[in-house]
Amino acid sequence: MKISKIAFSIAVVAALLLFVAGPGTRLGMWDFSMGFMLMRSALFAGLSAAAFALVLLVIPKTRAGNVTMLAAALLVGLGTAWVPWNGYQTATSLPFIHDITTDTVDPPLFVAMLPIRADAPNPPEYLGEEIAKQQREGYPDIETLVLDTPADETFRKALEAAEDMGLEIVAAEPMGGRIEATATTLWFGFKDDVVIRITTDGAGSRLDIRSKSRVGGSDVGANAARIRRFISEIG
C-alpha cells in the first residue's frame, strides 16, 4: 500500500468514528460515555492523519504523484478533528452545569416527569445556589418572562411553542399553569426534560421555564439555548 493511502485511510477511519459516535448512542448500541470515547478517538486519529499527510506533502519524494490523496487526508483529518475539538472548547467556556431555569430562587418543579426520571443519573431536584451562581455568571440573560397577556392565553401560547419546537408533551395542566415535556437532542439522542410554569401577575402573567438533562455533568449550553429559543417563540 502506498504511504499516501495509509494517511488517507487513517483520516477515513477517524471520520467513521466521528460519524457513528452519536447515532450509535442514540440507537442504544452503546452508552454516552462510549460515544464520547469514540469522539476523542476521532480527534486523535484525525490529527494523526493530518500530521502524517502534512509531513508527506513536505517531502518531495512522497509528495510526487500523491498530492491529491495527501491533501484529501489532510483536509478530512483536520475537519474530523475540528468537530470534537470545537465541542470541547465550547464545553470548557460554559458553566459545568446541566440544569437551567429562569427562576433560580423558586424554580419550576417536575411532577409528571418524576417517574420518568426515576432511573436518571441526574436527580430531578434543583441544587440551589450551588448551580444558581454559575448560571447567573454564564447566562445572565435568562430570567422570568413577564407578559401582558392573561395566564390562560400565555398557557396556550406556551403549549403551542413547545409543540412547534418538537418537544414531547408529557403533561399540560391549564388550571395549574404547568407544562412538562421532553426534548431529544439530534445527534446523541440525549433526553432533556422541560417544565414550564405560568402564573397570574395582575392583569398579565409570568412565565418560568426550566430545562434539565438526565445525564452528563455539562450540557454544553443546550438547555440555555433551548430556553432562549422558547422565550423568543413566546415573546
Which segment of 2-6, 57-61, 119-123 scores lowest on mean pLDDT?
2-6
Q: Output the CA–CA distances (angstroms, integers) from residue 75 to 10, 84, 221, in the order listed.
A: 12, 15, 28
Output the pLDDT for position 208: 98
Q: State what percent of residues in the chain have pLDDT above 90.
A: 92
Among 78, 93, 108, identify where a domain stops: 93
pLDDT for 203-234, tens place per residue? 999 999 999 999 999 999 999 999 999 999 98
How many structural domains compose the chain?
2
Is the pLDDT confidence value at 194 over 70?
yes
Q: Is the pTM value of this prediction over 0.85?
A: yes
- The answer to whether residues 15 and 55 belong to one domain is yes
- The answer to whether residues 79 and 12 belong to one domain is yes
Output the pLDDT for position 1: 59
Residue 191 per-residue DSSP state: E
Output the pLDDT for position 199: 97
Q: State what percent of residues in the chain have pLDDT above 70.
A: 100
Is the pLDDT confidence value at 3 over 90?
no
- The answer to whether residues 18 and 116 belong to one domain is no
pLDDT for 6-49, tens place per residue? 999 999 999 999 999 999 999 999 999 999 999 999 999 999 99
- The answer to whether residues 56 and 107 belong to one domain is no
pLDDT for 126-153, tens place per residue? 999 999 999 999 999 999 999 999 999 9
- The answer to whether residues 154 and 191 belong to one domain is yes
Q: Which of 166, 162, 167, 107 has the alpha carbon at shortest distance from 132? A: 107
- The answer to whether residues 65 and 124 belong to one domain is no
Among 50, 76, 93, identify where a domain stops: 93
- The answer to whether residues 116 and 189 belong to one domain is yes
Please report where in the chains the cell 395566564 appears, as a residue.
151
The 10 Å Cβ neighbour count of residue 77 is 28
CATH number reported for the structural domain that contains residue 110 in this entry: 3.30.530.50
Which positions ≥6 away from 226 have C-beta within 8 Å?
165, 183, 192, 194, 211
pLDDT for 156-190, tens place per residue? 999 999 999 999 999 999 999 999 999 999 889 99
- The answer to whether residues 111 and 224 belong to one domain is yes
Among 74, 93, 112, identify where a domain stops: 93
- The answer to whether residues 211 and 118 belong to one domain is yes
- The answer to whether residues 70 and 128 belong to one domain is no
- The answer to whether residues 20 and 115 belong to one domain is no
> With contact defined as beta carbons under 8 Å apart, do 165 and 230 qualify?
yes
Residues linked to residue 162 through DSSP beta bridges, in sequence order: none
Which positions ≥6 away from 71 have C-beta within 8 Å?
53, 57
Range of the domain at 145: 99-234
Output the pLDDT for position 77: 97
- The answer to whether residues 49 and 139 belong to one domain is no
